[in-house]
Chain A
Amino acid sequence: MNKDKMINGIISAILLALLFGLVVLLDHTLPTTGIAMTVLQKCCIYSLVAVSMNLLNGFTGLFSLGQAGFMLLGAYTYGILTIPVDARPSVYQYFDGGIVQFSVPFWVGILAAGCVAALFAWLIGLPVLRLKSDYLAIATLGFAEILRAFCQWDKLGGLTNGSNMLRKYPSFNTLLFPFTVSVICIAVIVLLINSSYGRAFKAIRDDEVAAEAMGINLAHHKRMSFCISSFFAGIGGALLAMFQTTVQASAFKTNMTYEILLVVVIGGLGSVTGSIIATFLFYLCSEWWLRFLDSEIMIGAFKVPLLRPGFRKVVFSIVIMVIVLFARKGIMGDREFSVAAVRRWFGKHRSSGSEGKEEKA
């Protein structure tokens, strides 16, 4: 039993090391502004955001739609704190150089982004977490919109630059950076999920009344889950700000939340690896692999029908509908992809032939 665990651990570590190697390799070979690089960077960032949303929606059973709002807070916090002092006059040109006249290193900015998002989550959670299911979704959606409106308010211009964009803050041009940050954050989330607090979250998801009868303080644990999820959404927002090199509140619309929710549902509520796989499939397909559908292709004298700008979206929608119809619980359901699960799956097939097609993690 223990030996098995060790083998699994070693294989997992090797795979992770290989993945890191691959990322470094890609950094050296891919053109820094090419589509492959951009899409992969985006995938890393959205993986983190999707997993953080899954922590709330899939593991704690709180149907919240405030993710874009917390990403916005993260992105703005990062931007506001890290713009170099000498660049501030040009960024805040309509607001006399802004009111923040210092700047912090990028990693402090990222951490602050998470903390500010978590702080706001705590405040918003006080009234909102009394609600359940749909009502909670509506309330969080509302708060996310309010936050966006606030950031565009010109009275706060000295801080948020009104409806103008923030720019000139430090950003990244490698794949390794967003990859590393996401891996660390997701690892922390996974550790949390597998701890006794993670079990308490799952208990609340499965049955609130029973969870309370087991001595789990609902309000406390829900608030905790909400804040932690928002903390990582804030970090995701900071990464997104770095990725885009500019921040503008109008980009953080509810559409963004829906997109992430779609990814989480496709991946499977309650599956971390499902969220990650779904993020990669979703963004690789929608922004890269299906691009060819948008341009007309001639094979000899034959013009392939239907292909024209916008057709990509049609195909993509159909793919999503097929997934949702045929895999109701998402790609992974609430299982996890892990070395242990794969080995168990293979073991089962070797010993009992075609029986036991399910792999439970």
Chain B
Amino acid sequence: MSTQSAENTNILHVEHVTMQFGGVVAVNDLSLDVNEGEIVALIGPNGAGKTTAFNVITGVYEPTNGLVSFRGTPIIENHPKGKMKKLYQGDAPLSYDKSIVKTPDRITKLGIARTFQNIRLFKKMTVFENVLIARHMRSNANFLSATFRLNHAEEAANREEAMRYLEMVGLADEKDELATSLPYGKQRRLEIARALATEPTLLLLDEPAAGMNPQETLELAAFIREIKEKLHLSVFVIEHHMDLIMEISDRIYVLDFGKLIATGTPEEIQNNPRVIEAYLGVGDEDA
């Protein structure tokens, strides 16, 4: 099924998603698509609602209105209810009235993995354990068989897998160190390794290059492309580094004050006057 027969197999479909916090509209009527094998970017100034959009897709927030489907099946189909319904300010019809309750862990299980803008590693665990955690949900052992080590083979396989992902991001040598003792760039890589270990088909990266220098950013770009090819992933990325975005993405969505203002290929976005006005500044940012 994952063989790339057509470029346009839809992986992620977001339709009329609105996320309101009281009267504040963080994401306003957002619709977008990510197709199989694509790297799609979501950009926008600070506070434009990019991370909120991620949080809706991964089930952290229940959107006020809208629908998210993953590989053709709806995973979030929301209902503005009670107070939120009265406050709803979007233009889209309130047509999504069924609540499919999917907690973030179920969505991860379906195959959407994410990293976090402000790194969220398990602080008291080693690098290796951090990746091993991601294997837990794919194991079949119940707590009794796990306690009494009846899942020996599976556990060994999981350890091997975790090690493989650590090697992939180049952290194999640091496997017994405490996660928080790693330098910043490596912590970001560890987050990616951890996300990959959940065996996703869609990877959401929330500002993966934050705090990196130009050299590291270039390496990251190469790395993202490499894992995409290797693991047959689709990647949806939020980023501020224009170099990285222009380098890797197939398509770009631009968000401003929660609203989608432009969409297109990197070239189109670079020359779009609205985007330049809202975000890129007058032509010196992309240097």
Q: How far is it, in angstroms, between the C-alpha of A203 and the C-alpha of B121 when the chains are bound?
A: 9
Task: Report B136 CB to chain A, min CB distance, Å.
Answer: 5
Q: Tell me whether B148 and A212 are in contact (CB under 8 A).
A: no
Q: Does any Cβ of B come within 8 Å of A37's Cβ?
A: no
Option from B108, B123, B136, B139 in Cβ contact (under 8 Å) with A206:
B123
Q: Does any Cβ of A come within 8 Å of B24's Cβ?
A: no
B 99-143 binary contact with A (CB < 8 Å = 1; else 0): 000011110110001101000111111000100111111110101
B 155-190 binary contact with A (CB < 8 Å = 1; else 0): 100100000000000000000000000000000000
Q: Tell me whether A214 and B124 are in contact (CB under 8 A).
A: no
Task: Report A90 CB to chain B, min CB distance, Å.
Answer: 41
Enumerate 15 A-B pairs (CB-CB under 8 Å) in ascending A order: A191-B148, A195-B147, A196-B146, A199-B129, A199-B132, A206-B121, A206-B122, A206-B123, A210-B122, A212-B104, A213-B116, A213-B120, A214-B194, A215-B105, A217-B137
Number of residues on chain A facing chain B (CB within 8 A)? 28
Interface size, B (range): 35 or more
Q: Tell me whether B125 and A202 are in contact (CB under 8 A).
A: yes
A 260-297 binary contact with B (CB < 8 Å = 1; else 0): 00000000001000000000000000000000000000
A199-B129, A199-B133 are contacts. A216–B105 as well, Cβ < 8 Å?
yes
Option from A192, A196, A197, A212 in Cβ contact (under 8 Å) with B103:
A212
Q: Tell me whether A192 and B109 are in contact (CB under 8 A).
A: no
Q: How far is it, in angstroms, between the C-alpha of A218 and the C-alpha of B135 when the chains are bound?
A: 15
Q: Does any Cβ of B come within 8 Å of A359's Cβ?
A: no
Q: How far is it, in angstroms, between the C-alpha of A205 and the C-alpha of B123 when the chains are bound?
A: 10
Q: Tell me whether B147 and A210 are in contact (CB under 8 A).
A: no
Residues of A within 8 A of B151 (CB): 196
Q: Does any Cβ of B come within 8 Å of A39's Cβ?
A: no
Q: Does any Cβ of B come within 8 Å of A228's Cβ?
A: yes
B 189-217 binary contact with A (CB < 8 Å = 1; else 0): 00000110010000000000000000000
Residues of B within 8 A of A210 (CB): 116, 120-122
Q: Tell me whether B136 and A196 are in contact (CB under 8 A).
A: yes
Residues of B within 8 A of A216 (CB): 105, 133, 136-137
